[in-house]
Structure 1
Amino acid sequence: MTSSSSASPSKLTAPYGSWKSPISADLVSGASKLLAGTAVDALGRLIFLESRPSQSGRMVLVRASPENQDPVDITPEDCSVRTVAMGSESGGAFTVLGDTVIFSNYQDQRLYKKSMTSADSCPVPVTPDYGGPVVCYADGVFDQRFNRYVTVREDFRESSLNSTTTIVAVGLDGYIREPEVLVAGNDFYAFPRMDPKGKRMAWIEWSHPNMPWDEAQLWVGYIADNGEVHKRVCVAGDDPRIMESPTEPKWSSKGELFFITDRHNGFWNLYRWAESNNEVISAYSLDAEFSRPLWNFGMNSYEFIQSNEGKNLIACSYRKSGRSYLGILDDVEGSLSLLSIPFTDINNITLGFSCLYVEGASEVHPLSVAKVILDDHKSKAVDFKILWSSSPDCLKYESYFSLPKFIEFPTEVPGKTAFAFFYPPSNSDYQATIDEKPPLLLGSHGGPTFESRGILNLSIQYWTSRGWAFVDVNYGGSTGYGREYRERLLGKWGIVDVNDCCSCARYLVDSGMVDGERLCATGESAGGYTTLAALAFRDTFKAGASLYGIADLRMLKAEETHKFESRYIDNLVGTEKEYFDRSPINFVDKFSCPIILFQGLEDMSVPPKQARTIYHALKEKGLPVALVEYEGEGHGFRKAENIKFTLEQQMVFFARLVGHFKAADEITPIKIDNFV
């Protein structure tokens, strides 16, 4: 898998890392489209929101064609459908009812209403103009009883950092006026959901210093005849003996409230609310995750479907041991029937007309949306068709794909293991020289409360098809493995994640799978912090790349970042001394290897001065270092040219400084300080 004992006459022999590959940086940047939600219109047609790197990351609402014709753009060229509420980078920016869509426009953050029956109809604003994007909205639903739109609002009019978050009602009668506040008083809200008759509303709320996956509450409010919430009941999260994080409330057509929480076994499972005695009843119990952390609005992990027998069935997905499964839950019988589909990774589910639309991916499928048709008994998938793909032409490069291997490796804590996806080098045209082992690039995911997934990611294939090994680590603190695993990071960020990444690299070296002298690390956001911390406090890696990573933890305190994350790391770090001791910028004397940094200048989560500070410190110390800053980019790069440049410059940086080979691509390297 990592070395060649005998030459194949059909392959060229060349050192790892120097192979030529058709999976170019242009291909990767063009395939870096994001999907930010799906819905269905009055005729059952799929509506989806996609990003377009070629248009500077503009988010476009699109309607799929059922006749294999080209999809149709719903929103005009001067709109980008995107909300910045709660620091969200995507999700919850639009809602569809029949032929009407309401969406958030990125430039001014106002809500607009548009008819989808005519592509030429202009969006009409439904919220006031405050002279700039100082009020934003997300995660809305239609309330037909009062002809209004109920949504989460974040208001920055009094403070750019300490905003006020509420649930409000926006009138849809054609008159623009100040939205009516329905629920207020807590720090954060999400998932306002109306029951079928518009008489009850469920929502999730939480308060500092918790994040929604730490502790949250599920509430139900009763709607009076004047439209106000006049009575409230806490359904879950108010018992001090139970630490739980309810999420994704949803009303069935019968008016029953379902939701997901982790109250019993530490995994996000499905539950039902018995309103008569305010009791929470398990719908199905499994040591698996039926939801994921609420980083973005708009998650939709389950849907109610109606069977021919009149049963109330639930289409749902869950994750276990690094893999997703799609199933149909019979709540009455307590049985779950799995559906066989090609996706091994599932994000969201949307109910169509006699079908499901599933957002997912697999080892050979990039991020896609598929139409899944079920049999009459709703127990089997009888048809599967991909309607949208982030990279529809990539399968022609399948002979170059590296398939991920799910690995479990020992950590520094006796008896504790962690998880990762390992991608060996793979190229149908090349083989390595005899007994050579490949260089390794280790990726640490962001969040840090997030998860790496073993799916077709062309940015990873860019490396492996050139002869690199790549490993994507789910260190302690990652999601997908239950609350206990997630809480390994509490008070130990910068310790557990760093140790696990270093342990993973050593495990691969000891297993003979990679070259121990050519270990590199890369990470985005919190993964960039883990990378920098590993380079400062350990000697495992020979070089690293930080993409909008954190250098000074103190800069992420309340006065330096947006409200949603302003108390996030309180639980992950601890005392002032620990903030200092775990910040790489305070220990530049401990850095001993080359580093390249990439930073967006409009980043609200990680201030650009963090990258500049560590760049100047390492430059002064005399270490090889480079800094790339991008105008118009925030927390995550959306422009195709910047995605391409970042990938290529990492490749040539590592090749020049630790690879001991020449990269096959013709890339003009940027200037590296302290390196000739």
Structure 2
Amino acid sequence: MSLSPYGTWKSPITARNITQGSVKLTDVVVDRATNITYHVESRPSESGRSVLVESHSGRDIVGKQWNVRTGVHEYGGGPAIVHAGVAYFSHFTDGRVYAVDVEKGSEPRAVTPESKVLRFANFDVHPKHSHLLVSILEDHSDSSSPISVVNTLCIINTKSQTLTPLVSGADFYASPKFSPDGTRVVWQQWFLPDMPWQGAEILVADVLIEKDKLEIRNTVHIAGQKTTHSVSYPAWATNSTIVFTSDKSGYQNPWKYELEASPVFSEPLNQDFGEPAWLLGRPPFAILDDSKRALFSAFQDGRSVLYLVDLKNGTRQPVDSPYVWIQTMQCTGAGKVVFLGDRVDVGPQLVVCTINPDSSAHFTSLSKPPDTPGFPSSMISVGQPMTLKAAPDGRPVHIVYYPPTNPEYSGSSIPGEKPPCATCSWRSHGPHRTRVEHDDPVLYVPWMGVARRKFLRIIRIRQRFRLAGHWGIVDIEDCIQAAKIISHAPYDLIDPERICIRGGSSGGYTALGAVSMGSDLRTFAAATSCYGISDLRLLMDDTHKFESGYGHRLMGGTNAEIPEVYKDRSPILQGDIDKVVPKEQAEVIFESIQRRGGVIEYKLYPGEGHGWRKEENMVDALERELAFYEKMLKIKAEYA
């Protein structure tokens, strides 16, 4: 093995071979009538369009002119469902819902009226009247302001191509599901300014179908409360039992409803079962086909863990798993659960978990691993979760450290040199957590001899409350303190003079704030913000409905109530159709720093929204970012 200064290690990994031909798995769909598994994948090489795929064969269900994606809540999720061999999906281009026979491969036919203002997502098919679908309906007829968008639940009659209102009055809806016998329906709802993980409700109602018209009666609120606590992911175990998660204990734990709502566990477990629901769908558990047990995923020490849970007596058994991140769990029958899973050395795959008679589990991959370079595990930097005590109050700060990794090098040729570090606040997205994971920068950066650190922010609900009124203070300070701690004794892992910080969306806000309004502006040598927030005042005025109340609790009030706070916490690389953080925010920063003679680079990607979806833009963004670090840290990486 060779010695060479950190940051100059020769690497065969380029941005091009990381992204070329790669796909991102975004959803899992199981046909309940046939137990055949399908998945949705986003393809950067096809301009980022999403495709519904039959998982075993890898066969596309729709042609290249179709984009299986929804714009509901802007972030989307839940764009498709398959029932008895018929797929129903939202086509992102026109927002309409289409039906297609998955075996015949016929041309999709529209089942909703033509409209330029309606969006649909999160479908469920009635088990006996399969031409009737329940769906979220998002109506953009009035675009005068974010809150003028109207969200409801509706019934789609796929025969007549008509829509019938079902539930209205709340600001948002999610997870509508019919009971197995079709006599009841359950759903989640919440109101502004709450996000679904801050305060939400679950309701259930009787279903009445007469003359091909579906109505509901006897609506009952079963769990959850505005502002106080959230409930999520309702699912039917039987015709009389609903399983969901609730954070009433301070952690998202399994609950159930029969005659009344009650926790599944006799004592709450200090782990969160399920992620904050930025996207629709993606349940963190699957009820097995015996209806008595469920396989749950939870978060512990920055990674996913699995539990086999007895829904009747509340016992749980840990299930050993090599997957550090698990989401979107669905039962496929015969004691099998399929989910999206990441390992530290392999990117997201479609995984089948088979529960054996002794309650142990066997895992097999149902999909081809993402077409990244396919290097052996010795070439992958494995994340090391760490909990630090941040000064001055000693509160815990959670990070994942990725050391420089390249089997051709044993270290630096400069005695005593510590590696530079690209600190990632990417996953510190608002009041959330990050994870040990396998992603593009993990492959790309450590090979050059550059360490990488990710800030683990806010795993538990009580920690989320710590951010209330302190967004833009606590999160930024934690990043600064963590960088200082690991760059000095007793850790001494990285060079304190060569630390960069990067992030996207509100992680971009953290990155910008850390170099403009933190307690020590010398901590980071440079910052990268991808579609990040720069002006909280404009964010609250211009963002979409889903996040229009997001800052109220995090800031301690509205912009009208506390304008100086919003101004003081606004740290005055973007897509031009971003509805979450408009490009004007990045342009304000660029012009301001350029006017004062600072070093800044700005790139606008036409046709992109809140995140990069097109391969050429993903490659360009990675290459530009690395070149920026090389310049700012005075290093030059060489490529084989």
Please, which moves more after superposition, 280-289 or 255-264? 280-289
Tell me the secondary structure at the aligned position of residue 255 of structure 2.
Answer: strand
Match of 1:461 among 443, 446, 449: 443
Match of 2:604 among 629, 634, 642: 629
2:294 is the alignment partner of 1:330: no
| Structure 1 pair 336–461 and aligned structure 2 pair: CA distance change class (3 A) | same
Tell me the secondary structure at the aligned position of residue 625 of structure 2.
Answer: helix
2:536 matched residue in structure 1 = 553
Aligned residues: 618
Q: Which amino acid aligns with 2:192?
A: H
Give per-residue Cα distances to partners, 1:213-251, cap 9 Å, x unaligned: 11111111222344212221111124x8x9210000011
2:493 is the alignment partner of 1:507: no
2:73 is the alignment partner of 1:91: no
2:430 matched residue in structure 1 = 448
Match of 1:663 among 622, 637, 640: 637
| Structure 1 pair 347–389 and aligned structure 2 pair: CA distance change class (3 A) | farther
> How far apart are 1:390 and its partner, in Å?
5.0
Match of 1:564 among 523, 546, 549: 546
Contact 1:215–1:237 (Cα < 8 Å) also in 2: yes
Whole-Å Cα distance in 2 between the matches of residues 616 and 392 of structure 1?
39
Tell me the secondary structure at the aligned position of residue 507 of structure 2.
Answer: helix
Q: Which amino acid aligns with 2:421?
A: L
Q: Which amino acid aligns with 1:643?
A: M
Contact 2:186–2:202 (Cα < 8 Å) also in 1: yes
2:349 matched residue in structure 1 = 368
Contact 2:245–2:273 (Cα < 8 Å) also in 1: yes
2:215 is the alignment partner of 1:228: yes
2:288 matched residue in structure 1 = 305
| Structure 1 pair 282–351 and aligned structure 2 pair: CA distance change class (3 A) | closer
Whole-Å Cα distance in 2 between the matches of residues 544 and 140 of structure 1?
41
Please, which moves more after superposition, 56-65 or 25-34? 25-34
Matches within 5 A, 1:273-352: 273-275=257-259, 278-283=260-265, 285-307=268-290, 312-352=292-332
| Structure 1 pair 512–281 and aligned structure 2 pair: CA distance change class (3 A) | closer
Whole-Å Cα distance in 2 between the matches of residues 646 and 21 of structure 1?
18
Give per-residue Cα distances to partners, 1:562-589, cap 9 Å, x unaligned: 100111111111321110000111xxxx
Whole-Å Cα distance in 1 between the matches of residues 263 and 494 of structure 2?
49
Identity %: 31
Tell me the secondary structure at the aligned position of residue 571 of structure 1.
Answer: helix
Match of 1:12 among 2, 14, 28: 2
| Structure 1 pair 32–518 and aligned structure 2 pair: CA distance change class (3 A) | farther
Give per-residue Cα distances to partners, 1:404-447, cap 9 Å, x unaligned: 11011122452411101001101001231221100011111253
Whole-Å Cα distance in 1 between the matches of residues 499 and 274 of structure 2?
34
2:559 matched residue in structure 1 = none
Whole-Å Cα distance in 1 between the matches of residues 59 and 510 of structure 2?
42
1:104 matched residue in structure 2 = 90
Contact 1:548–1:611 (Cα < 8 Å) also in 2: yes
Tell me the secondary structure at the aligned position of residue 656 of structure 1.
Answer: helix
Contact 1:143–1:194 (Cα < 8 Å) also in 2: yes
Q: Which amino acid aligns with 1:489?
A: L
Matches within 5 A, 1:127-146: 127-130=112-115, 132=116, 134-146=117-129
2:219 is the alignment partner of 1:203: no
**Any gaps of 5 or more consecutive residues in structure 1?**
1-10, 586-597, 667-676
Tell me the secondary structure at the aligned position of residue 574 of structure 2.
Answer: strand
**Any gaps of 5 or more consecutive residues in structure 2?**
557-561
Tell me the secondary structure at the aligned position of residue 618 of structure 1.
Answer: helix
Match of 2:504 among 524, 527, 548: 524
Tell me the secondary structure at the aligned position of residue 487 of structure 2.
Answer: helix
Whole-Å Cα distance in 1 between the matches of residues 550 and 408 of structure 2?
47
Q: Which amino acid aligns with 1:33?
A: V
Matches within 5 A, 1:51-62: 51-62=42-53
1:589 matched residue in structure 2 = none
Q: Which amino acid aligns with 1:125?
A: A
Q: Which amino acid aligns with 2:637?
A: A
> How far apart are 1:281 and its partner, in Å?
4.1
Per the normalisation by structure 1, the TM-score is: 0.88
| Structure 1 pair 127–507 and aligned structure 2 pair: CA distance change class (3 A) | same
> How far apart are 1:349 and its partner, in Å?
1.3
Give per-residue Cα distances to partners, 1:97-150, cap 9 Å, x unaligned: 12011100010010011111112x0111111102x2x11011110013443000
Whole-Å Cα distance in 1 between the matches of residues 621 and 295 of structure 2?
39
Q: Which amino acid aligns with 1:452?
A: T
Tell me the secondary structure at the aligned position of residue 73 of structure 2.
Answer: helix
| Structure 1 pair 492–324 and aligned structure 2 pair: CA distance change class (3 A) | same
> How far apart are 1:402 and its partner, in Å?
1.1
1:396 matched residue in structure 2 = 375
Whole-Å Cα distance in 2 between the matches of residues 384 and 483 of structure 1?
31
> How far apart are 1:393 and its partner, in Å?
5.4
Contact 1:222–1:229 (Cα < 8 Å) also in 2: yes
Whole-Å Cα distance in 1 between the matches of residues 278 and 392 of structure 2?
29
Contact 1:91–1:297 (Cα < 8 Å) also in 2: yes
| Structure 1 pair 21–506 and aligned structure 2 pair: CA distance change class (3 A) | same
Contact 1:272–1:283 (Cα < 8 Å) also in 2: no
> How far apart are 1:197 and its partner, in Å?
1.7
2:170 matched residue in structure 1 = 186
Match of 1:172 among 130, 134, 158: 158
> How far apart are 1:471 and its partner, in Å?
0.3
| Structure 1 pair 163–413 and aligned structure 2 pair: CA distance change class (3 A) | farther
> How far apart are 1:210 and its partner, in Å?
0.9
Whole-Å Cα distance in 1 between the matches of residues 588 and 369 of structure 2?
36
Q: Which amino acid aligns with 2:470?
A: K
Q: Which amino acid aligns with 1:651?
A: L
Give per-residue Cα distances to partners, 1:609-657, cap 9 Å, x unaligned: 1111110111000001111011110000011111111111111111112
Tell me the secondary structure at the aligned position of residue 486 of structure 1.
Answer: helix
1:216 matched residue in structure 2 = 200
Tell me the secondary structure at the aligned position of residue 523 of structure 1.
Answer: strand
Whole-Å Cα distance in 1 between the matches of residues 599 and 630 of structure 2?
13
Matches within 5 A, 1:605-624: 605-624=580-599
Tell me the secondary structure at the aligned position of residue 318 of structure 2.
Answer: strand
Whole-Å Cα distance in 1 between the matches of residues 173 and 303 of structure 2?
30
Whole-Å Cα distance in 2 between the matches of residues 424 and 279 of structure 1?
46
2:466 is the alignment partner of 1:472: no
Contact 1:236–1:280 (Cα < 8 Å) also in 2: no
Tell me the secondary structure at the aligned position of residue 506 of structure 1.
Answer: helix
Matches within 5 A, 1:250-265: 250-264=235-249
Contact 2:127–2:178 (Cα < 8 Å) also in 1: no
Give per-residue Cα distances to partners, 1:386-411, cap 9 Å, x unaligned: 12255255443422211111011122
Tell me the secondary structure at the aligned position of residue 627 of structure 1.
Answer: coil
Matches within 5 A, 1:150-165: 150-159=134-143, 161=146, 162-165=148-151
> How far apart are 1:94 and its partner, in Å?
0.4
Q: Which amino acid aligns with 1:546?
A: S
1:63 matched residue in structure 2 = 54
Whole-Å Cα distance in 2 between the matches of residues 48 and 182 of structure 1?
28
Contact 2:136–2:174 (Cα < 8 Å) also in 1: yes
2:389 is the alignment partner of 1:386: no
Contact 2:44–2:615 (Cα < 8 Å) also in 1: yes
Tell me the secondary structure at the aligned position of residue 481 of structure 2.
Answer: helix
Q: Which amino acid aligns with 1:129?
A: E
> How far apart are 1:314 and its partner, in Å?
1.0
> How far apart are 1:253 and its partner, in Å?
3.0
1:122 matched residue in structure 2 = 107
